[in-house]
């Protein structure tokens, strides 16, 4: 993959849509001018759900007070220039309930979630930290299982946990175990990925079935009289990203679809790039078990969290090549093209239903499934 001068890259990205560079930058700027205001007097669970309430909190408090170019990009990681290359840096916290669930635990979730935030920038994940906040009375045997899961996930992802911290809070103050991580990755390719690079005409792909993790967590809580043969999709995505970038030069954006699901990711892309996104309901890869549980619970699978799936925006000319690269690996065997980037209705995501109608897929406002990661 050859590196283009910055100006040439921008011209190439906008040529297909008929926009000049200045028009594209102005379109993005118009959408970024809208700064929401937090009107709540207290923090609510919705502020941690990854939807519109989270965006309001981040923009009105954190971005306003801590503004700098790295934060302003609003990606899942910051890219840092160092001599002689670039690093990606990210941080995350994990508060999932229950701590152990079909297909995983908070231990491997902490590793995979951090690895994936680095991987979707195009970086090779390398080093992580792990900070444990434990509640007095937490069973050592259970903590040992969680740490063993964390270690196994790190080994599978090829990363090292090189530093950490442990704190203990009083009984009833910590819900068992929380884990905070940070991660560093190395960018070994001359690529620049981000939501702002999406352009009309691009294809929208997803790397596999959606909603598995969120529904698995909900059922594992045992509050509902529902059963399904379902496991969390928690998995590292770095091999999938590597294969995709090796095969395609026209990848615009990669995002792992965690809190808020695929719908929230696509709304972030539409807003950042000042474009519309049109989805096809019949193209969405959703397991029958997830669909069935969502129908009973009144949930939309598009808003249900994943932990081993990513959304890809790629030049439409390379969509088939991208799908072939994804499907060549076990993690991407069921990858699908689910829609397109369009010029109409900038900042909006729409879905053409099986019946031929169209509905708006807005950013999630509340939190249907708290504590899923």
Q: Do 238 and 352 belong together in one domain?
A: yes
**Domain shared by 208 and 336, yes or no:** yes
290 closest CA partner among 213, 350, 368: 213
Series of mean pLDDT values for 10-residue runs along the chain (373 residues): 38 48 59 65 78 81 81 81 89 97 98 98 97 95 97 97 94 95 96 96 98 96 84 97 98 96 97 97 97 94 97 98 98 98 97 96 80 91
Q: Please state whether 252 falls in left (phi above 0), alpha (psi between -120 and 50) or beta.
A: alpha
Count of CB atoms situated within 10 Å of the CB of 142: 14
- In this structure, the answer to whether residues 211 and 90 fall within a common structural domain is no
Give the other-Cβ count within 10 Å of 72's Cβ.
Answer: 10
In a domain, residue 17? The reply is no
| Residues forming a β-bridge with 124 | 186
90 and 145 within one domain = yes
Boundary residue ending a domain (162, 192, 222):
192
The pLDDT assigned to 364 comes to 80
Q: Are residues 180 and 241 in the same domain?
A: no
Is residue 205 located within the same domain as residue 147? Answer: no
> What is the reported pLDDT for 68?
83
62 inside domain: no
Q: Does 268 lie in the same domain as 142? A: no
The pLDDT value given to residue 103: 97
* Structural domain count of the chain: 2
Count CA within 13 A, CB hemisphere, residue 250. 19
* Distance, CA of 164 to CA of 151 (rounded, Å): 13
259 and 166 share one domain: no
Q: Is residue 92 in a domain? A: yes
- Find the domain containing 250 and state its range: 195-360
Residue 55 lies in a domain: no
Kindly report the CATH number assigned to the domain that includes residue 323. Answer: 3.90.650.10
CB 252, CB 177: distance < 8 Å: no
The CATH number given to whatever domain includes residue 116 is: 3.30.1330.10
Q: Quick one: 283 and 256 in the same domain? A: yes
pLDDT computed for residue 97 by the predictor: 96
Alpha-carbon torsion 211, 217, 218, 219, what sign?
positive
The verdict on residue 38 lying in a domain is no
Q: If we measure between CA atoms, which residue out of 199, 207, 183, 294 comes closest to residue 256?
A: 207
Domain shared by 254 and 209, yes or no: yes
Is residue 12 a part of any domain in this protein?
no
pLDDT of amino acid 141: 95
Residue 82 has a pLDDT of 85
**Count of C-beta atoms within a 10 Å radius of residue 140:** 8
| Alpha helix stretches (DSSP H) within 33-177 | 52-57, 64-66, 69-72, 106-119, 140-157
Domain check: are 101 and 213 in the same one? Answer: no
- pLDDT of 348 reads 97
């Amino acid at each position: 993959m050859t590196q283009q001068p910055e100006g040439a890259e921008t011209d190439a990205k906008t040529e297909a849509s008929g926009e000049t560079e200045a028009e594209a930058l102005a379109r993005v700027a118009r959408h970024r001018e809208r700064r929401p205001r937090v009107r709540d007097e207290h923090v609510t669970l919705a502020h941690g759900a990854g939807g519109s309430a989270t965006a309001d909190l981040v923009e009105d408090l954190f971005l306003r007070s801590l503004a700098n170019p790295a934060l302003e990009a609003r990606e899942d990681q910051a890219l840092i220039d160092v001599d002689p290359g670039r690093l990606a840096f990210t941080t995350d916290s994990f508060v999932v309930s229950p701590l152990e669930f079909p297909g995983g635990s908070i231990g491997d979730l902490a590793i995979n979630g951090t690895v994936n935030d680095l991987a979707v920038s195009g970086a090779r994940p390398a080093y992580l930290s792990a900070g444990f906040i434990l509640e007095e009375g937490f069973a050592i045997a259970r903590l040992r299982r969680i740490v063993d899961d964390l270690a196994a996930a790190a080994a599978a992802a090829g990363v090292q946990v090189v530093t950490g911290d442990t704190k203990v809070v009083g009984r009833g103050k910590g819900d068992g175990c929380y884990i905070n991580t940070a991660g560093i990755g190395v960018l070994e390719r001359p690529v620049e990925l981000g939501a702002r690079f999406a352009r009309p005409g691009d294809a929208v792909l997803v790397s596999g079935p959606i909603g598995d993790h969120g529904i698995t967590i909900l059922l594992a809580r045992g509050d509902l009289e529902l059963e399904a043969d379902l496991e969390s999709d928690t998995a590292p995505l770095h091999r999938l990203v590597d294969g995709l970038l090796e095969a395609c030069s026209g990848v615009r954006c990669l995002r792992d679809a965690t809190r808020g699901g695929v719908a929230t990711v696509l709304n972030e892309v539409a807003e950042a790039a000042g474009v519309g996104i049109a989805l096809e309901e019949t193209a969405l890869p959703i397991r029958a078990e997830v669909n069935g549980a969502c129908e009973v619970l009144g949930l939309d699978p598009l808003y249900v969290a994943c932990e081993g799936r990513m959304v890809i925006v790629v030049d439409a000319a390379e969509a088939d090549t991208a799908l072939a690269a994804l499907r060549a690996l076990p993690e991407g065997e069921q990858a699908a093209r689910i829609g397109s980037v369009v010029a109409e209705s900038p900042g909006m995501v729409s879905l053409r239903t099986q019946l031929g109608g169209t509905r708006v897929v807005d950013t999630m406002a509340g939190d249907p499934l708290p504590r899923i990661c």
